[in-house]
Amino acid sequence: MGKQLWKPGNMLYPLPAVMVSCAREGERPNIITVAWTGTVCTNPPMVYISVRPERYSYGIIRETGEFVINLTTVELAKATDFCGVRSGRDTDKFRKTRLTAQPASFVKAPLIAESPVNLECRVEKTEELGSHHMFLAKVLAVHADEAYLDAKGRLDLERAGLLAYSHGNYLGLGQKVGTFGYSVKKAGTRPQARRTAVPKKSGGRTRHS
């Protein structure tokens, strides 16, 4: 069977479906669902989100230069979808979804307490690319739910039932099929260390979801 040639498009799937929380002085906090997101640098730790300028949250993030990326799970799928199809201009999304706004350590935008991992972010650069503008941001802090830490304090997100987005569909991440370096591991040797973040406390201000 052959391959069809399609016009250029966004077919890099699956992607993480995340809820991004933001807040502006004197207004209720808001949540926007984003799939155009990812890691861009390890040192310093940096991520990006891409948002359409007409979205309500865009103006908040552009003005404040801050946001929080909240990872989502299968249990949060309905709330994740709702925050992507309703506007914060006329909807209190925290109230409607019954999600809990939790104070962050370094930014004014709240964490979503029900999320297994929250990344506090500060915008370093904005790229106006076209339909979407990309916010390149430095990660200021990571909050990890203690429920997903193993006996050694490592984050075991496989147990969280993380949510992904693929071409209009939400998918629960499935069975683990390998670990980093397993393809070159020799029999009888110890596997290489997993590239999994170990939450670090920062000045005693680390919070847990």
The model's pLDDT over 130-175, given as tens digits with 9 standing for 90+, comes to 999 999 999 999 999 999 998 898 888 889 999 999 999 999 997 8
Question: CA-to-CA distance for 77 and 80, rounded, in angstroms?
Answer: 5
pLDDT at residue number 126 = 98
pLDDT at residue number 96 = 97
pLDDT at residue number 161 = 94
User: Which residue numbers in the chain have pLDDT < 50?
Assistant: 195-196, 198-199, 201-209
pLDDT at residue number 129 = 97
Please state the pTM of the whole predicted model.
Answer: 0.87
pLDDT tens digits, 128-138: 999 999 999 99
Question: CA-to-CA distance for 55 and 33, rounded, in angstroms?
Answer: 11
DSSP type of residue 63 = H
For the stretch 70-92, what's the b/e string if a residue is b when 16 or more beta carbons lie within 10 angstroms of its beta carbon?
Answer: bbbbbebbebbbbbbebebeebe
Question: CA-to-CA distance for 25 and 59, rounded, in angstroms?
Answer: 13
Question: CA-to-CA distance for 164 and 157, rounded, in angstroms?
Answer: 13
